[in-house]
A and B are shown apart, each in its own frame.
Chain A
Amino acid sequence: MKPAAFAYLAPTTLAEALEMIDRIGDDGKILAGGQSLVPAMNFRLARPGTLVDINGVAGLSGISGDSARGISIGALTRHAAFHTPPFSGPLADLLAKVVRNIAHYPIRQRGTFGGSLSHADPASEWCLVTATLGATLHIASLTGTREVAAADFFRGTFTTALQPSEILVRIDLPPLGAGWGTGFYEFSRRKGDFALAMALTALRIEGGTIREARLGVGGVADRALRLAKTEAFLVGQPAHAETFAAAAAMAQDSIDVSEDIHAGADYRRDLLGTVIRRALAEAAA
């Protein structure tokens, strides 16, 4: 359970880090929080020749903005920063709810928002947040910075649009201002485990009718899925249990649910319906 030997680099500026990963190429790995990479290295499932530790790179952490204007999240921002977000409103409430489901308290002190997206675990809560809310990811390389929509960033299990010479530096989440209600529900067998299914939603309800809807699910396919068709169905419907059940059934029919050692497809499809109904009910409460 000891990692294979590697060379260690600790840049202090983004320019330095970009130069290093460009030079090293495929043999290098960026070390951020290390809460997924280091276990993989301890098991020797990952054996990078060089680690570029970006923990000392200035300017990569922090949260700015607010619920009404949207927020910017530095890629190196630790999960724990969302235990008590530095802003208020529906977006803050949602992120504070979600973060409590990410692994455990000590893991959240170290793991990072950008690291979670770059790792792209299908059951990652932050991947679900960015996919569902339509985040914009800012990716830096020696040739400049490009913007990628979350919808185009996640390509499959542990696979993203990131190239070896690129670093995810910032994530912008769009506004969820006054009038929005949010819901999140995750099922795992034990506290802190990876979700077998989870749903995240935001609803804007006026006079009992849904006016705008965001809905996404995670842990049930090779990546987090935003359910655009179900969102469209929800708009104009009354915000009550019957609508939520119909939305859940629609999602269950449209997703080719994954199957693994932890849960069969039928069980997971059943869970999928439950987590969607519960998340929607919470957003409407």
Chain B
Amino acid sequence: MSDKIKITLTVNGTAMTAEVEPRRSLADMLRDDLRLTGTHLGCEHGVCGACTVLVDGKPVRSCLMFGVQANGASVRTVEGLADGDRLHPLQQAFWENHGLQCGFCTPGFLMLAAGALEENPDMTDEEIRDVLSSNLCRCTGYQNIVKAVRLAAEVMKAGPAPQATRS
């Protein structure tokens, strides 16, 4: 009954395979089988959003999906945001605007905002607040997270900074 199933998927652009029990959540598979511990688990029932990752471009709760369901999918986690040492505009904006304190919820907020901004780069303040209302943070009081996402949206729309040129 608990026979393991072998799956293949793409995580942050890299093809990977995993052999997991069907009951293994996508979050646990990422953390324990693929050793990508940037994805955090808070409530494990879809309320807190700490485990948010992108599956085929859409932000989803990875505690409410089973790993086997990601067979053939493209998954992106917080580990895939930065480009080497250069932070993603969202990470940079969280850093500069004090969008985190303890940081536990931050990977979920980053992936949520990344997915939402990819779908709609021109979110209004109201839309940003509506999207962010899905995740919980117990430190910042949210205001700086809203501010960081708003500023990151502007940077992302303006395109990569000139110093970002790479060989």
Contacts and interface: CB of A to CB of B under 8 A. Distances in A.
Nearest to A51: B22
Contacts, number: 89
A173 B5 CA distance: 39
A150 B49 CA distance: 33
Contacts of A100: 130
A51 B112 CA distance: 28
A3 interface: yes
Given A2-B23, A100-B130, A106-B134, A7 B52 contact: no
A239 to B, nearest CB: 29
A34 B44 CA distance: 13
A285 interface: no
Contacts of A7: 1, 3, 22
B134 A38 contact: no
A107 interface: yes
B89 interface: no
Interface in B1-32: 1-3, 5, 21-23, 25, 28
Contacts of B130: 100, 105, 191
B64 A34 contact: yes
B133 interface: yes
Interface string A38-71: 1100110000010101010000000000000000
A281 to B, nearest CB: 21
Instruction: Bin chain A's interface residue count.
Output: 20 to 34
A221 B131 CA distance: 29
Contact of A109 (B5, B21, B44, B59): B59
Nearest to A35: B64
B65 to A, nearest CB: 7
A105 B134 contact: yes
A110 interface: yes
A83 to B, nearest CB: 9
Contacts of A55: 69
A106 B21 contact: no
Contacts of A80: 58
A1 interface: yes
B2 A106 contact: no
B15 to A, nearest CB: 20
Contact of A104 (B3, B25, B65, B134): B134
Contact of A5 (B1, B5, B44, B65): B1
A15 interface: no
Interface in B36-67: 43-46, 49, 52, 58-61, 63-66
* A-B CB proximity, top 8 nearest: A104-B134, A8-B22, A1-B44, A39-B45, A5-B2, A109-B58, A191-B133, A38-B64
Interface of A: 1-8, 10, 31, 34-35, 38-39, 42-43, 49, 51, 53, 55, 80, 100, 103-107, 109-110, 191-192
Interface of B: 1-3, 5, 21-23, 25, 28, 43-46, 49, 52, 58-61, 63-66, 68-69, 71, 112, 115-116, 130-131, 133-134
